[in-house]
């Protein structure tokens, strides 16, 4: 079944509801819980000097709904793969509800976006970018009790595997997509300090994604649901898991998929009966 080419927004990381295990012990100062918190720059880390893979598993007696998985911020090279499997039973038993198969961690540059002499065929967006690396898969909603995430890392960077954030979540999508004219911004917070010689000396900071989007045809029901997600369930303090289009490829997927926080209030304008204008400003976290 094909996924809708619409805006997906998740607000609760289901992995925080489980007790996680890993086939390869993590370093004591970088525990598994680090990649589940919402603080950027506090990663989970594995010593991979003697192995090239690890598996993360979790299980619960309660079934939870999910339809997307995301890793944000990692040090994996282009030959690394991730495989996500969700099971109907506890402890990775019962019906296999979803299997992503081994999927490349990086996003390849499609032929139509390749610039001859600049972007070689078979190259990737991620290693050459100043933006955080993001891996995501979307799938039809399933109710699972356990999961296994396999990471193959044949050539680990400095014998270390590091992941800043990982999330498995249910993402809601509105009936009508956001309006044409949505704005994508790459925020560059680099500070330019002028020297006495008249030049500039930069203080470099990482670039961040930002999306300014507007839903001009949001029904009253969808508006109430989105308000519930943004205000009653999360507030501005909590992460939002955004996939602008789960079917996107190339640079569109690269720029419009990540973990964000909401800027500004939850505000809407009723434009006509059962239609509302709802604006969002999302800044990457």
CA–CA separation, 25 vs 132, rounded Å? 25
Residue 22: the pLDDT is: 94
pLDDT-derived band at 214 (thresholds 50, 70, 90) equals: confident
In 3D space, the residue among 109, 88, 85, 110 whose CA is nearest the CA of residue 98 turns out to be 85
* Cα–Cα nearest to 48, from 137, 141, 156: 156
pLDDT at res. 232: 67
User: pLDDT band at 190, cuts 50/70/90?
Assistant: confident
122: left (phi over 0), alpha (psi -120 to 50) or beta: left
Determine the length of the chain.
285
3-state helix, strand, coil in the chain (%, to 5): 15, 45, 40
* pLDDT bucket at 183, cuts 50 / 70 / 90: confident
Residue 48 has a pLDDT of 92
- pLDDT band for 15, please (50, 70, 90 cuts): very high
Does the pLDDT of residue 2 top 70, yes or no?
A: no
pLDDT for 34 equals 93
Sort strands 183-188 and 8-13 into parallel, antiparallel or unpaired.
Answer: unpaired
- The owner of tokens 């400095």 is 158
Cβ proximity of 106 and 126 under 8 Å: yes
> Residues 221-228: what's their mean pLDDT?
80
Contact (CB, 8 A) for 82 and 71: yes
* pLDDT tens, position by position, 56-93: 999 999 999 999 999 999 999 989 999 999 999 999 99
């Amino acid at each position: 079944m094909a996924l809708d080419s619409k805006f997906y927004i998740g607000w609760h990381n289901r992995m925080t509801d489980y007790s996680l295990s890993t086939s390869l012990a993590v370093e004591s100062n970088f525990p598994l819980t680090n990649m589940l918190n919402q603080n950027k720059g506090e990663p989970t880390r594995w010593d991979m000097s003697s192995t090239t893979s690890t598996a993360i598993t979790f299980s619960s007696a309660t079934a939870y709904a999910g339809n997307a998985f995301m890793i944000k911020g990692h040090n994996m090279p282009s030959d690394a793969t991730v495989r996500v499997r969700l099971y109907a039973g506890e402890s990775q038993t019962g019906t296999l509800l979803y299997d992503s198969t081994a999927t490349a961690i990086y996003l390849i540059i499609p032929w139509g976006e390749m610039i001859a002499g600049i972007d070689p065929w078979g190259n990737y967006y991620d290693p050459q970018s100043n933006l955080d690396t993001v891996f995501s898969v979307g799938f039809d909603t399933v109710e699972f009790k356990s999961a296994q995430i396999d990471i193959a890392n044949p050539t680990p960077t400095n014998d270390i595997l590091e992941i800043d954030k990982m999330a498995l979540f249910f993402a809601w999508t509105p009936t009508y997509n956001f309006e044409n004219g949505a704005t994508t911004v790459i925020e560059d917070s680099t500070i330019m300090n002028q020297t006495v010689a008249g030049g500039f000396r930069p203080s470099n900071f990482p670039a961040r994604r930002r999306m300014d989007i507007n839903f001009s045809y949001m029904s009253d029901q969808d508006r109430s649901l989105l308000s519930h997600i943004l205000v009653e369930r999360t507030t501005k303090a909590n992460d939002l898991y955004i996939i602008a289009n789960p079917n996107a490829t190339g640079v569109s997927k690269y720029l419009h998929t990540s973990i964000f926080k909401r800027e500004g209030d939850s505000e809407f304008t009723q434009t006509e009966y059962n239609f509302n204008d709802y604006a969002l400003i999302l800044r990457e976290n």
